[in-house]
Amino acid sequence: MLVNRETYTDGNVTIETYDDGIPAINIVTSYRDEKAGVFVYKNVPMKLTDGARADLTALYFTALLNQSIPNETVLAEWQERGYEAIHLTAGDLRADGDKFMQHRQKCFTAASVVKASINDYTTAEEIKTAFDEAYNNA
């Protein structure tokens, strides 16, 4: 069974994962979901729940489709536990909104790459390392 435990230290979240002999494919899927659920923006690890992703998508398209909104206009304030709130401006969303959308796709692409060669790995750490490399190359 895969067990996750979040540890909070000075505002940083560390997720420790323990491998208790679970199938490799489950490790890939769990790690993909863990990585897809957090996106670091302006040095703040944003937790991307389904609701948060929906909100960001709506804000992104609002800024993109309505070019009359000045770049400096704050469309949302984002607050994560242990971090200062960050302001998401129309300019931020126009410039970086696609990065939020690409992050999730890169996670699924990385998982597919790792799954294609799943028999090459013998430990959970090898799987996670391969995933991270595939993500960075996606």
Q: Which two tokens stand for residue 130?
A: 């391969």
Q: Which two tokens stand for residue 11?
A: 């505002």
Q: What is the pLDDT of residue 86?
A: 92
Q: Which two tokens stand for residue 33?
A: 């979901």
Match 């494919």 to its residue by tokens.
Answer: 25
Q: What is the pLDDT of residue 1?
A: 39
Residues paired with 48 in a beta bridge: none
Prediction pTM value = 0.69
Q: What is the pLDDT of residue 3?
A: 47
Q: Which two tokens stand for residue 124?
A: 């959970």
Helix (H) or strand (E) holding 86: strand 86-89
Q: What is the pLDDT of residue 9?
A: 59
For Cα atoms 90, 93, 95, give the angle at the middle one, nearest 5 degrees: 105
What stretches in the chain show pLDDT beneath 50? 1-3, 18
Q: What is the pLDDT of residue 6?
A: 53
Quote the CA–CA distance of 131 and 18 in Å, as a whole number. Answer: 17
Q: What is the pLDDT of residue 50?
A: 82
